[in-house]
Amino acid sequence: MKSFSLLVICLFLLVGAKAQTNLKTLVDQKADQLEQQVIEWRRYFHQYPELSNREFKTAEKVTAHLKKLGMEVKTGVAHTGVIGILKGAKPGPVVALRADMDGLPVVERVDIPFASKEKSTYLGQEVGVMHACGHDTHVAMLMGAAEILTGIKNQLAGTVVFIFQPAEEGPPPGEEGGAALMVKEGVLKSVNADVVFGLHINSMLEVGKIRYKPEGTLAAADQFTIKVKGKQTHGSMPWGGVDPITIAAQIINGLQTIISRQTELTKEAAVISIGKIQGGVRNNIIPEECEMIGTIRTLDTAMQRIIHEKIILTATKIAESAGATAEVTIKTAVPVTYNDPNLTRLMLPTLFTAAGEDNVILTRAVTGAEDFSFFAREIPGFFLFLGGRAKNVDTLDAAPHHTPDFFIDESGMKLGVRTLCHLTLDYMKIGQK
């Protein structure tokens, strides 16, 4: 009798596994059929990028698509965010899939028919706007996954929540936004999400490949401002005042020694970078004040605290030695992006199936940052990287993210669509056990 019961169980599992394989095959076929549409969506978003918290046209297009699919849609989340809720025919876990929507204040230099010509205002300056980090591809891929999963909703055992998030690059000064605001507004709690998945296309990684890392995978990002206050004087008589611009230059050099000489880099990577320096109004006036802003990237909380302390000490003491003062403000913007190790282990076979085991690469942590980290602090999360570099382009020739020459090979997006769908299906299967 026991042998008969065991045989029945084995047959049941075999039928279930075959059904799951057939469903994935259907997903892959639909991804093939939808590829050109995903590319067209991406090109629209690329041609008409919008800055953080200003993704109005992007949100409208996403909303129209989700409503056309017949799912429950919430708009105006964290200013311009859009949430789509797809309920399967059977009960099961709630899987959240996230894509970010915002562009960057970068003037595009890539010679493509759908290059951005958009202009906007950022920090009081007129700027070009470009999807120089691939968020346009993320939106298009998630729209594709939404269409495929809606088409098989009668075979889904659970709920899928599609999160189209604004302001991943950070909200404008004085505003809230991004994943932090979405979490604050209860996006995950309102749907009782069990897990959240996200991916980021990468211009350095070859098309067809996926990179992943359990635990800490992306750095914490902190913003800092240093205001150096000196004494204004005529440019021809610098001895008559205290030059904050020269002092700021010395502080910049001093900050780099924090990393190169005072930080245990064999433990974890760390970076201090100045992104802007501003002071003065004309060539022959030494101004009273100079201001610089920058970013700190760390992967270890103890190192993060020490580096903060050293930045304050270095800036204030260099300024003091020259008869000036330095005011240092440090704001923690984004925590470490942490991939839940158990979830990563469970979903690794999914990546092997979607991309092929040889194309799935275990990587080291990188000092880029992602506000997906706010979602992954609330519930188990898994964030991975998708190849976007053409196979005939050398890694050294691929333009980095956040640059005017940033370029993505669109043939890599189909794997992203498939992977989002496979992760959803496989987690729903795991959640039934």
What the block records as the tokens of 72 is: 């429950």
102 is catalytic: yes
Give Cβ neighbours of residue 203 (< 8 Å, ≥ 6 apart).
134, 388, 389, 398, 399, 400, 401, 406, 407, 408
What the block records as the tokens of 115 is: 């290059």
Residue found under tokens 């769908």: 421
Residue found under tokens 């003065």: 280
Q: What is the CA radius of gyration of the chain?
A: 24
d(CA 41, CA 43): 5
Measured torsion, CA atoms of residues 295, 126, 277, 239, in degrees rounded to the nearest 10: -170
Backbone angles phi, psi at 182, to 5 degrees: -60, -45
d(CA 37, CA 58): 16
Closest CA to 287 of 227, 225, 226, 224: 227
Amino acid identity, position 362? L
289 is catalytic: no
Q: Which among 28, 50, 55, 102 is annotated as catalytic?
A: 102
DSSP class of residue 359? G
What the block records as the tokens of 15 is: 């039928």
Q: Which among 168, 300, 340, 426 is annotated as catalytic?
A: 168
Which helix H or strand E contains 25, and what residues bound it? helix 2-47
> Is 349:311 a contact under the CB 8 Å cutoff?
no
d(CA 101, CA 95): 20
Active site residues: 102, 168
